[in-house]
Amino acid sequence: MKVKVIKLEIKNVDSSVINSKMENFLNIGDEYTVYAVTIQKTMTYVQIYIDNKLISIPIELFEIIDSKVSKYWLVSYTDSTTRFWPNEFYQEFFHDDLFEGVTEIVTQFNDVKNKIEREFNS
């Protein structure tokens, strides 16, 4: 899945929505590969890689330009949340460890990132 930035913030958003103002991180027209999707009651998020970080951003800020889902995504449903994530992302504390730079997790993420990028850039 690939997305293109069409706006930089969501106005009048529910306080539970994270990353609704992204003007300091995104530019209109930039395109990103999506590494995971999370669907919650109030918002759907895509995980993109920006500034050397994997970050969840509301899908409302994007136009979907390639709607094909990754063959590496697995689906789960818990507590009103549906996730389309690569298997590695389901490891306990994966996102925290990635953010903290844990070598093993960074290596796993880079492997997943490279596989998904090859999938959508071929």
- pTM of the entire predicted model: 0.92
CA atoms within 13 A on the CB side of 26: 26
What would the two tokens of residue 85 be? Answer: 């994530």
Counted domains in the chain: 1
* pLDDT over threshold 90, residue 5: yes
Longest CA pairwise span in the chain (Å): 40
CA pair distance 42, 63, nearest whole angstrom: 19
Burial of 68 (0-12, 13-18, 19+ CB in 10 A): exposed
* pLDDT over threshold 90, residue 42: no
Domain containing 83: what range? 2-121
Chain segment 51-83, per-residue pLDDT in tens: 889 999 999 999 999 999 999 999 999 989 999
pLDDT at position 38 is: 97
